Amino acid sequence: MIRIVLACFLSLLLGKAYGQNTVADIKVQGNKRTKTNFIKKITKLKAGMELDSVLIEEDIYRLKRLPSVTHAYFQVSPSVGEGKYTVVYGIEENFTLIPFVNVYTSNNDEFAFRIGLQEFNFLGSNITLGGFYQKDIFNSIGAQMRAPYLFGKKLGLALSYQDLTTQEPVFLDSGTADYKYNNESFEILGLYEINYKHRFELGINFFTEDYEYLFGTTDPNVPQSLNVDKYLYKLIYNYDAIQYYYQYLSGFKSTLNFQYVNSSNTQLPEFLIGFNDFVYYTRIGERGNWASRLRLGLSSNLDTPFAPFAVDNNLNIRGVGNTIDRGTGAIVFNTEYRHTLIDKNWFVLQSNIFVDGGTWRNPGGDFSDFGDDQNIRIYPGVGLRLIHKRIFNAIFRIDYGHGITNDASKGIVFGIGQYF
């Protein structure tokens, strides 16, 4: 609400001060690695246009969301000639070559980690290049490139390759089996930005799934080995109205992910999967930030032990363990209060109190499964955040979650970046 009032006030102020005056020049200051031409390419206000406070507000909003920018502001000053004005966009840059690590454990002595390196401002054009190595019993690797403004201010491209191998529990009627699971994939996505709040991604993913039985319960109807080539079409719609002020966020964001999956094996059925993340942030006083995320997901309700929605430490519920269950539907709610304890020029220390909860539909089950207390998991917990204000996404987090529902566990989750 405050942002809306300020925008209206700014519009009235500029309108009265400058009327129908024009922009003689646009300058960029404070940027060292981010190219000036790139900033001018993605901003809407151009030299020769009328001085427009709405466009300036949109441009500042867009700049603040760039990985290379920690803060942005503007200045308007008279230029040479009557009715001519110079607009200056000021940039405070992030350091964007970032190592990252995710570590997660549980009281079942499970331990896994992922380490990697990402550059978020390659060629000074906010192109992301990155790669990772993962150890989750087995070794995995991956690499990605994401260039949202490769073909102009609206059109971009994303490419990724992953070779992931994990030990996955498969839940059978007679018990649990463990399989070595490998997924090797290549994905290409076209990125299109309607405006600064609405974005689409559309593309295809080619992947090979390989299941190899390790130990545990067996079932004559469940193969002990399976190797199949698959492909999926992916559509992502993202609405983002989040306002950024250093580590503080406010506003609403919604991300819809819809996929159609098919395979080269005619004996395996095609299926659909879709989920939507609704995220809301609000400022609490001067140092508080309340954050909440709701995920609603459904897939084709196949009676298969390889259901797509996992219950996992690093995905949805902190402290629950590494892939402890699967389902064909999911309702997950995460909410946490972040309070800034120390806020210096470059360093922030935040405390964190959270509750993660969720429920799943069993493969082949019905919607009443969501209310089954065997499927409901609730994990409150506490955590800390160490934040560097001049390095993009340089948020080291540690959370401890302790379950209070049936067969609960407890565990610690480390990572880079906020959990959501």
Do 364 and 215 fall into the same domain?
A: yes
Q: What gap in Å lies between CA 204 and CA 183, rounded to an integer?
A: 15
Backbone dihedral angles phi then psi of residue 247, each to the nearest 5 degrees: -85, -5
pLDDT of residue 9: 46
Cβ–Cβ < 8 Å for 345, 285? no
**What is the torsional sign of CA 399, 404, 406, 409?**
positive
Do 119 and 135 fall into the same domain?
A: yes
DSSP for 211-261, please give it.
Answer: EEEEEE---TTS-SEEEEEEEEEEEEEEEE--EEETTEEEEEEEEEEEEEE
Total count of domains within the chain: 2
User: CA-based angle 344:27:18, to the nearest 5?
Assistant: 100
Indicate the SS3 state at residue 301: coil
Q: What gap in Å lies between CA 59 and CA 40, rounded to an integer?
A: 10
pLDDT of residue 16: 47
Domain at 45, CATH number: 3.10.20.310
**What is the torsional sign of CA 85, 86, 88, 89?**
positive
Q: What gap in Å lies between CA 7 and CA 220, rounded to an integer?
A: 66
Residue with the two structure tokens 């529902």: 405
Do 128 and 247 fall into the same domain?
A: yes
| Residue ending a domain, choose from 64, 93, 122 | 93
pLDDT of residue 105: 61
Domain at 242, CATH number: 2.40.160.50
Do 149 and 39 fall into the same domain?
A: no
| Residue ending a domain, choose from 40, 60, 93 | 93
pLDDT of residue 272: 96
Do 154 and 224 fall into the same domain?
A: yes
Do 14 and 160 fall into the same domain?
A: no
Backbone dihedral angles phi then psi of residue 56, each to the nearest 5 degrees: -60, -45
Q: How far is CA 354 from CA 185, 249, 403, in A?
A: 34, 17, 12
Number of alpha helices (DSSP H) and beta strands (DSSP E) in the chain: 3, 22
pTM value is 0.81
Q: What gap in Å lies between CA 250 and CA 244, rounded to an integer?
A: 7
Cβ–Cβ < 8 Å for 304, 223? no
Q: Count the Cβ atoms, other than its own, within 10 Å of residue 360.
A: 27
Residue 95 carries which DSSP code? B
pLDDT of residue 112: 80
pLDDT of residue 226: 87
Do 254 and 141 fall into the same domain?
A: yes
- Counting other chains too, the contacts that 398-403 makes at CB distance below 8 Å and 24 or more residues apart are 399/318, 399/319, 399/352, 399/354, 400/318, 400/319, 401/317, 401/318, 401/319, 401/320, 401/354, 401/356, 402/319, 403/319, 403/320, 403/377, 403/378, 403/379
pLDDT of residue 8: 44
Closest CA to 167 of 133, 208, 212: 212
| Residue ending a domain, choose from 54, 74, 93 | 93
Say what the alpha-carbon torsion angle 409, 413, 417, 418 is, to the nearest 10 degrees. 30
Do 247 and 232 fall into the same domain?
A: yes
Do 314 and 343 fall into the same domain?
A: yes
Range of the domain at 354: 97-416
Do 297 and 332 fall into the same domain?
A: yes
Amino acid at 235: L
Burial of 368 (C-beta count, 10 Å sphere; 0-12/13-18/19+): exposed
Cβ–Cβ < 8 Å for 171, 178? no
User: CA-based angle 76:81:82, to the nearest 5?
Assistant: 80
Do 73 and 128 fall into the same domain?
A: no
pLDDT of residue 18: 44
In tens digits, what is the pLDDT along the chain, a chain of 420 residues? 444 444 444 544 544 444 578 999 999 999 999 999 999 999 999 999 999 999 999 999 999 999 999 899 999 999 888 889 999 999 999 999 988 887 766 545 567 888 999 999 999 999 999 999 999 889 999 999 999 999 988 999 999 999 999 888 887 878 888 999 999 999 999 999 998 899 999 999 999 999 999 999 988 888 889 899 999 999 999 999 999 888 999 999 999 999 999 998 876 789 999 999 999 999 999 999 999 999 999 999 998 877 889 888 888 999 998 777 889 999 999 999 999 999 998 899 999 999 999 999 999 999 999 999 999 999 999 999 999 988 888 899 999 999 999 888 998 888 888 999
DSSP for 66-91, please give it.
Answer: STTEEEEEEEEEE-SSTTEEEEEEEE
Q: What gap in Å lies between CA 171 and CA 148, rounded to an integer?
A: 40
Do 198 and 345 fall into the same domain?
A: yes
